[in-house]
Amino acid sequence: MTEPSQHPSETLVERARAHLRASGMRWTPQRRLLVEVLLSTHGHVTGSELVERCRAIDPDTTPSTVYRSLDALEGLGLVRHSHGHDGVEEYHVLPESVHGHLRCEACGGTWDISEAEAQALTQALAGARGFAVNLSHLTVVGRCAQCPPVVATAEPELADAEP
Amino acid sequence: MTEPSQHPSETLVERARAHLRASGMRWTPQRRLLVEVLLSTHGHVTGSELVERCRAIDPDTTPSTVYRSLDALEGLGLVRHSHGHDGVEEYHVLPESVHGHLRCEACGGTWDISEAEAQALTQALAGARGFAVNLSHLTVVGRCAQCPPVVATAEPELADAEP
DNA sequence: TTAAATGCAAAGGGTTTGCACCGGA
DNA sequence: TCCGGTGCAAACCCTTTGCATTTAA
């Protein structure tokens, strides 16, 4: 995976263009902008965030174009979407390797979960149920090491009132 | 309308009422209906599904009331919500035990994941990262044993074009 | 040339909110 | 009585769609 001369993302933009054109789709300024924004993105972004970011660069950006382009790019496998913490669609870019996500519900931080790290889960489920985990759709929510643990939720506990 | 019957849900409705009243909240026909609908619910329901189901029984049901009551009940710990497959909020009732969910992306079936079953994952993440998994927010997507495995996604593979 | 993409504006679906009235406790 | 709840309608947010126009190839 060594790119000889240029910025890695430079190459990726190039590839995105090639992919689009190879599929009979067109390489437009709007799509180029979107691809660049996507490539400058670390973890996940929601559709509306992408609209914003594109607009920050080109104020003429239109939501419909962004969403349609996102669709197109997704069809080519350049981006993928999953469901986010609040039920918002989230896109993430170029999954070089299949991985899941970890999100801290306190600080909002996110990290990747590698296949190796998820192995404990995938194997457990495969063994017990014959269930094949789709790692790219896995988001694990909880508390990261930096955030204080939950402070005794003071919960009514309806279900356990039973003697 | 007080049946001295011993349907388990009968008891739970009673408890829900007690909980509400203990918190200074009121027990209204609308809330009673919602609680009954919730208790007759197996897995998860979306807010709008709940609105529908309530409307099926009482056509005068109003969305705003349902959502507000859902909020109230959630505040008491009687229901919990998580994010669903398409990013829709999903409620599930009375989590007697904390558990996650398993969803087959082919047949749409869902199952619970017990703490024991998730232990492999939670321990792995706790050990490696000090991350405390919130099991009730865990949804694992994949293929169940009954559904055929994915048939070679024929994916463009942008990220790794050549060896 | 010519079909694909764009931009606009309007629709859509689920959820939320403001406000006056209603009704549990 | 009194404050929480209800109902209605309108607002909202994000996303999608129809259609005429533009534009990449």
Residue B16: CB partners within 8 Å, gap ≥ 6?
A158, B31, B35, B73, B78
Contacts with B94 from chain A: Cβ below 8 Å = 158-159
Q: Which of A28, A30, A34 is nearest to A12 (CA)?
A: A34
Task: Report pLDDT for A10.
Answer: 63
pLDDT tens per residue across span A80-115: 776 554 445 677 776 566 778 787 877 767 788 888
Contacts with B121 from chain A: Cβ below 8 Å = 118, 120-121, 124, 140
Least confident of A27-36, A70-79, B102-111: B102-111
What average pLDDT does this structure show over A51-57?
A: 95
Establish if A4 touches chain B: CB-CB under 8 angstroms: no
Query: Under CATH, to which class is B6-95 assigned?
Result: mainly alpha
Contact B140 A121 (CB under 8 A): yes
Q: Which nucleotide has its C1' atom closest to residue A49's CA?
A: D14
Q: Is the per-residue pLDDT at B33 higher than 90?
A: yes
What burial letters (b/e) apply to B57-82, b meaning 16+ CB within 10 Å?
Answer: eeeebeeebbeebbebbeebbbbbbb
Q: Which residue of A has its CA nearest to B143?
A: A132
Task: Report pLDDT for B4.
Answer: 43
Q: Which residue has the higher pLDDT, A149 or B111?
A: B111
Contacts with B130 from chain A: Cβ below 8 Å = 144-145
What average pLDDT does this structure show over B112-137?
A: 85
Task: Report pLDDT for B85.
Answer: 46
Of the partner residues A94, A140, A155, the one whose CB lies closest to the CB of residue B159: A94
Q: Which nucleotide has its C1' atom closest to residue B49's CA?
A: C14
pLDDT tens per residue across span B69-121: 999 998 887 887 765 545 456 777 765 667 787 878 777 677 888 888 888 88
What's at B114, amino acid-wise?
Answer: S
What are the domain boundaries of chain B? 6-95, 97-147
What burial letters (b/e) apply to B6-25, b meaning 16+ CB within 10 Å?
Answer: eeeeeebbebbbebbeeeeb
Residue A12 CA, chain-centre distance (Å), reads 17
Put simply, the chain B residues between 95 and 114 with a CB less than 8 A from any chain A CB are 95-96, 102, 104-105, 111, 113
The mean of the pLDDT values for chain B is 78
Alpha-carbon distance B111 to A94, whole Å? 30
- Coarse DSSP helix, strand, coil percentages of chain A, rounded to the nearest 5 percent: 45, 20, 40
- A150: confidence class by pLDDT, cuts 50, 70, 90: low
Establish if B163 touches chain A: CB-CB under 8 angstroms: no
| Residue whose CA is minimally distant from C15 C1' | B67
Least confident of B52-66, B85-99, B120-134: B85-99
Residue A118 CA, chain-centre distance (Å), reads 17
Task: Report pLDDT for B60.
Answer: 93
Contact B111 A133 (CB under 8 A): no
Q: Which nucleotide has its C1' atom closest to residue B84's CA?
A: C14
Contacts with B83 from chain A: Cβ below 8 Å = 83-87
Task: Report pLDDT for B83.
Answer: 57
Q: Is the per-residue pLDDT at A118 higher than 80?
A: yes
Residues above pLDDT 70, as percent of chain B: 75
Q: Is the CB of B150 under 7 A from strand C?
A: no
> At which residue do the structure tokens 């402070």 appear?
A151
| Residue whose CA is minimally distant from C22 C1' | B28
Task: Report pLDDT for A92.
Answer: 73
Q: Is the per-residue pLDDT at B156 higher than 80?
A: no
Alpha-carbon distance B54 to B66, whole Å? 8
pLDDT tens per residue across span B13-25: 888 899 899 989 9
CA atoms within a 13 Å half-sphere pointing along the CA-CB vector of A24: 0
Query: What sign has the CA pseudo-torsion B76, B78, B84, B89?
Result: negative
Contacts with A128 from chain B: Cβ below 8 Å = 117
Contact A158 B87 (CB under 8 A): no
Least confident of A65-69, A149-153, B132-136, B151-155: B151-155
Residue A66 (CA) to nucleotide C9 (C1'), in angstroms, measures: 16
Note the CATH architecture for domain A97-147. 2-Layer Sandwich (3.30)
DSSP B38-57: HHT--SEEEHHHHHHHHHHH
Q: Which residue has the higher pLDDT, A86 or B129?
A: B129
Alpha-carbon distance A129 to B49, whole Å? 29
What average pLDDT does this structure show over A118-137?
A: 86
Of the partner residues A84, A123, A131, the one whose CB lies closest to the CB of residue B143: A131
Q: Which residue has the higher pLDDT, A12 or A122?
A: A122
